[in-house]
Amino acid sequence: MNNIPLLEMEGIGKRFPGVVALDQVNLSVGAGEIVALIGENGAGKSTLMRILGGAIARNDGTIKVEGKPVEINSPREASALGIEFIHQELSVLDNLDVAANIFLRREPTKGGFLKLIDRGRIYREADVFVKKLGLDISSRTLLSRLSIAQQQLVEIARALSAGARMIIMDEPTSSLTLTETRRLLEIVRDLKSHNVSVIYISHRLHEVEEIADRAVVLRDGRNAGELARSEINRQSMVRMMVGRDLKDLFKGAAPEGQSAANGRDGSAGAGFEVRRLRTLRYPKHTVSFSVAHGEVLGFAGLVGAGRSEIARAIFGVEGSLEMDVTLDGKQLRVKVPQDAITQGIYLIPEDRRLCGLIVDFNVRENISLPNLESYSSAKIINYGKETKAALEACKAINIKTPTPEMRAANLSGGNQQKVVLAKWLTFSPKVLIFDEPTRGIDVGAKAEIYQLIRNLAANGVSVIVISSEMEEVLGISDRIAVMHEGRLTGILQRSQFSEEAVMRLATGTEG
Amino acid sequence: MKKELGIFILLIVLCIVVSIINPNFLLAINLQNLARQIGAFGIFSIGLGLVIITGGIELSVGSMMALLGVLLSMMLTQWDYPVAVAVLACIGLAMVLSLGHGLLITRLNMQPFIVTLCGLLFYRGAARFISNDETKGFGTVAGLDFLRYLANDNLFGVLPMPFVLLLIIAAITWVVLHRSVYGRYLFATGRNPEAARYAGIDTKNIVTLTYVISGALTAISGIIFAFYTNSVSPANHGNAYELYGIAAAVLGGCSLRGGEGSVVGIIIGTALLQVLRNLVNLLGIPSSLDFAVMGAVILIGVMADQIFTDRRNRRQVALMREMSAGEVQSN
């Protein structure tokens, strides 16, 4: 390996409106080196990689490739420098075949100005890459007929055919099975042996242990440290990823012992209970759990573990194969959201802008939407009543907006989330399900949301909080249910809470 | 509101220009005729506008009018149905057919464009088949005075009845769309069906109901047209009327993406289209250019609106960026 690293990113800074996403971040990668980029959600990994991939512009810092400063303003420019990005969400076109995907935008042509695709060559060359990656398929196969893992390999083939010297992989194994993961890790090692560098982003620490030459840890948009090959182990990584003083975020939000939960758990049948739930995504696994009045049950797990599917099934927006829901001993039938709503079960969905809000509606219209009938007489909306309710809601949970007539799109993420919550608080909720309640929300608003969640629990509401942020589930929950690939792998009592315990259950690694 | 104002100004300017070039525009007979047309076209255009607000489309309007017209004539002149029964049967049939559209779209997830395109073809064929492809009229059958009055007469000798009907229907739909729970749900569903569903709105029923309403309004317009033309030629009657409706709705501020539009806008859009047709006549523009003029004006109108909207959005984004930049610095 020569002395000049393939890639150096120095003093990278990125500010989004109201948030500093990256602050003086450094990252260097040598030729043929596998560097793991790790950190919790929101630590800035994706932002850093999007800057490198040319998807967004940085505010500060320099990027050098082989010692020469470069500007990367688009994915195309990144590609020209030999930097290719394999996204967590696959970006293949599944209506086209393997060869078409591999050579997209670089199709070999013939026929001069007619620019006909050289069909002979495209399939011949594509087959070479397909074989190189150990794929046992023809390059004429439609992408839609391949498994996710195979589609991902096609993406890697595309990167290689573009002459990639460095491949960024963002959570490449998040939707792969164990064997597929093994296979992918082998390919990553193989890339290394061909002198291709890999930046490997993953939450799955054992994968990092297995393949990384070096691990770069980010925390809250800053470098938290680096681990050399010999230092990489689970404890050191977790310590570096977490070591923070965000604990005071939960000041006042932390549950007061277990009395609330356990005290009422004793009276059998009280609270919310779900039994034998089988979702469409994971039809083979049944999930059962219960939440007492006044209890906050956290749901931890990796992305795609099947937690949101459970929430959507309970709320009736998504069908389920089997489900047995009781509230205070009473059996409920939930087929559509209206059923859940009339029973006092509400969902604050994961995707705020798509499912939680109508962003073009103003705050008043959003808050009143599910409860419109009660502000109307003879189906005609009474604007006075509606406005009054919206104003009260804004005041009750401190929604910062100059007027309820403000378009929801113009509010900050935290205030938008409060509007979603306000929709349900105009009823009297019995069960509230929060799916990633603080995603994309700044720290101040986070603390407020935690406080609101604890207040709701204190008023006897059964609360479920699905969260991929470790300190969030640990901080807010009375108990934590952990899921792994559709299975409920364990429920932790407060005395058993630790990152290690959650991680072990979430990754499905026993012992 | 701004959207309607822009198009309203365009309408007024157009009227002024036409009346300067050809003062005949302002003759009572011309204005009455214009108002009659606006009334007859406006009624079904409101229905189409509502469908467009759901994010859907209804292409079968013209064909449905031909089918209803043929059936109405046959019921009244050949089968001797009582007038009230014939009228209710027409409206009922239109509602049932539209219910079918709504159900296909919401329950089978078919695309509105396809479903109603098939309607366009099917109803036209049905009209021609039922009538043996013969033009149907109402001849001198007695007892149709009231329907003739609705289509051809004037209230107090001044206001054309179709226009009066339009005003009544517009007032009702205005309340329904802009003041009622249903209207709010309609906007929510059209703008973001997913969020509407998460808020517990039965979006499928809302959309289906909207198609049914559109069907009823189409039937009312259809009856007026039948008596206005007094003869229904199954191959041509109502040809391309759905396009007038769509154009009126879009000119009036309805977005084909759904979730946007207003009753007032649709009526102004309809008026603008009819003034344009009138203008072609009065200014001596060859009538073969009729559609070209309309196409050009709609294009310019919608383009201007898009440019203004984009500019306004960009200004807002710039404003937000400035605000947040200030915030970061103060941090």
Q: What is the extent of the structural domain holding B135?
A: 2-285
User: Residue A105 and residue A76: Cα distance in Å, rounded?
Assistant: 10
Number of helices and strands (H, E) in chain B? Answer: 13, 4
Question: Can you say whether residue B71 is alpha, beta or left, with left for phi > 0 and alpha for psi between -120 and 50 degrees?
Answer: alpha
What pLDDT is attached to residue B255? 85
Q: Do the domain assignments include residue A1?
A: no
Tell whether A298 and A277 lie within a shared domain. yes
- The contact set of B with A (CB < 8 A) is 175, 179-182, 184-185, 187-188, 191-192, 194-202, 259, 316, 320-321, 323-325, 327-328, 331
Report yes or no on B297 lying in a domain: no
Most confident of A271-275, A435-439, B213-217: B213-217
pLDDT at A105: 84
pLDDT at A481 over 50: yes
Owning domain of residue A461: 246-344+432-511
A153, A19: one domain: yes
Q: What is the CATH number of the domain that holds A141?
A: 3.40.50.300
Q: Is position A2 within any domain?
A: no
Residue B261 is assigned to a structural domain of this protein: yes
Contacts of A379 in chain B (CB under 8 A): 180-182
Predicted TM-score of the model (pTM): 0.79
Cα four-point dihedral sign A157, A159, A161, A163: negative
**Residue A139 and residue A36 in one domain:** yes
Q: Evaluate whether residue A64 is within a structural domain.
A: yes
pLDDT above 90 (res A262): no
* Per-residue pLDDT at A444 exceeds 80: no
Which of B181, B199, B259 is closest, CB to CB, to A423? B199
What is chain B's mean pLDDT, rounded?
Answer: 88
pLDDT above 50: residue A246: no
C-beta atoms of A337 and B331 within 8 A: no
Contact A380 B179 (CB under 8 A): yes
Minimum distance, in Å, between the CA of residue A463 and any CA atom of chain B: 18
Domain count, chain B: 1
Domain check: are A212 and A335 in the same one?
no
Residue A509 above 70 pLDDT?
no
- Across the interface, whether the CB atoms of B175 and A360 are under 8 A apart is answered no
- Kindly report the CATH number assigned to the domain that includes residue B209: 1.10.3470
A491 and A436 in a common domain: yes
Q: Are residues A188 and A290 in the same domain?
A: no
pLDDT: which is higher, A508 or A17: A508
Which of A338, A357, A376 minimises the CB distance to B195?
Answer: A357
B258 contacts: CB under 8 Å, gap ≥ 6 = B52, B53, B54, B55, B56, B189, B190, B191
Rounded to an integer, the average pLDDT of A270-275 is 89
pLDDT for B90 equals: 95
Q: Are residue A199 and residue A305 in the same domain, yes or no?
A: no
Q: Which of A18, A360, A370 sits opposite B200 (nearest CB)?
A: A370
If we measure between CA atoms, which residue out of B162, B143, B186 comes closest to residue B53? B186
Question: And the tokens for A270?
Answer: 């009280």
- On whether residue A53 sits in a domain, the answer given is yes
pLDDT at A510 over 90: no
Q: Are A6 and A166 in contact (CB under 8 A)?
A: yes
**Inside any domain, residue B301:** no
B245, part of any domain: yes
- Band of pLDDT at residue A267, cut at 50, 70 and 90: very low
Please count the residue pairs, one from chain A and one from chain B, whose beta carbons lie less than 8 angstroms apart.
80
Nearest-CA distance B122 → chain A (Å):
32
Residue A268 pLDDT grade (very low, low, confident, very high; cuts 50, 70, 90): very low
What pLDDT digit, counting tens, does each position of A379-424 carry? 999 999 999 999 999 999 888 888 888 888 888 788 899 999 999 9
On chain A, the residues whose CB falls within 8 A of the CB of B182 are 379
Residue A150 shares a structural domain with residue A217: yes
Residue A21 sits in the same domain as residue A146: yes
pLDDT band, residue A97 (cuts 50/70/90): very high
Cβ contact, residue pair B199, A410, below 8 Å: no
The rounded Cα A134 to chain-centroid distance in angstroms is: 30
- Residue keyed to tokens 């393949």: A211
CB A344 within 8 A of CB A399: no
Residue B327 lies in a domain: no
Number of domains forming the structure of chain A? 3
Is the per-residue pLDDT at A41 higher than 80?
no
Return the pLDDT at A18. 61
Task: Pick the last residue of a domain from A210, A245, A280.
Answer: A245
Q: Is residue A39 part of a domain?
A: yes
Q: Which residue has the tokens 């164990």?
A: A178
Chain A residues touching B180 at Cβ < 8 A: 376, 379-381
Q: Please give the pLDDT value at position A260.
A: 43
Contacts of A358 in chain B (CB under 8 A): 188, 191-192, 195-196, 259
B322 part of a folded domain: no
In this complex, do B179 and A360 lie within 8 Å of one another by their Cβ atoms? no
Residues A42 and A179 in one domain: yes
Q: Which residues of chain B have pLDDT under 50?
A: 326-331
In chain A, the largest separation of any two C-alpha atoms, in whole Å, equals: 81
**Mean pLDDT score across all residues of chain A:** 86
Structure tokens at B277: 């047709």
Which of the residue ranges A40-44, A346-350, B152-156 has the most confident prediction, judged by mean pLDDT? A346-350
Q: What is the pLDDT of residues A280-323, one digit of tens each?
A: 888 889 999 999 999 999 999 887 788 999 999 999 998 889 99
pLDDT at residue A203 is higher than 80: no
